[in-house]
Amino acid sequence: MADMAGTTGGTADSAAGGTPGGAAAPGPADPADPAVGFLYPGYSAEDDYPRLQAMLGGGVRLPLVHTDIGVDAHRVDDLLEMGSAARLAAGVEELKARGATAVVWACTSASFVFGWEGARSQVRELSATAGLPASSTSFAFAHAIQALGLDRVAIAATYPEDVAQLFTGFLKSAGAEVVSMRGSGIITAAEVGAWGRSEVLQLARGGDHPEAQAVLLPDTALHTAAYLADLERELGKPVLTANQVTVWEGLRLLDRTLARPDLGALFAHGAPRLPLE
């Protein structure tokens, strides 16, 4: 695997959809619990985060702040603006006021669109602005692949093909072999956020490949928290989804190890203690 220097150390809610399968309130929040903060672009699947907090069973808080996305479009120029330093910096102080001691940019496309080195610079600048360890969903995928010891993966993306190809390139820079990539041609996060269980399972099935050791669903606008067990049962292999790996990455920044098998293979044995670059 390539040098995983996307995470940095420092002195970090597209149209809102209803929570799939009914509301899942977070577990009892103790202000003394450690907190990792998430900068989430717009309004689409931000309700995955309280659901994931509840599924973690307490002991950690996942505060989330919405960033201004500008134009809701999976187009390169709009994604570059969505992930700009100024848009991310605007949410940092609110997360810190809510007790965050690490921050994750909870967006895949508006991080990998910068390329490996650009995405690394993005999180370094975020870390410097926040004075906290920082990462992004793109590096969360790279670290999750490393943690599971995977070599070959398939991508089942909601994005247009040209944007999905950029994610392929990013993962190749991380040392992973992408044996199959499928784009779905969806432009807006608002449309993705309206998808339910049947669409998510269909996306994963359609993007699977017999040589892939895992299937990746890289859009944080996609509701997946309620379907993690269904996805892995259906495909018979690990499935890594954007909001799942983003929360896992946040726990990694906090140096927390929580084993929650209902959150998929990635959480089966807790977050490993990979180096915090």
On the question of pLDDT at 12 being above 90, the answer is no
pLDDT tens per residue, range 133-182: 999 999 999 999 999 999 999 999 999 999 999 999 999 999 999 999 99
Higher pLDDT, 189 or 17: 189
Note the pTM of the prediction, 2 decimals.
0.89
Whether 16 has a pLDDT exceeding 80, the answer reads no
Token pair for residue 271?
């977050």
Give the pLDDT confidence of 219-236 residue by residue, as tens digits: 999 999 999 999 999 999
Please give the average per-residue pLDDT across 7-31, as a whole number.
Answer: 44
Q: How far is CA 141 from CA 70, 145, 248, in A?
A: 25, 6, 10
Q: What is the pLDDT of residue 271?
A: 52
As given in the structure block, the two tokens for residue 28 are 């009892």
**pLDDT score of 13 more than 80:** no
- 10 Å CB burial of residue 109 (0-12, 13-18, 19+) is buried
The 10s digit of each residue's pLDDT in 90-119 is 999 999 999 999 999 999 999 999 999 999
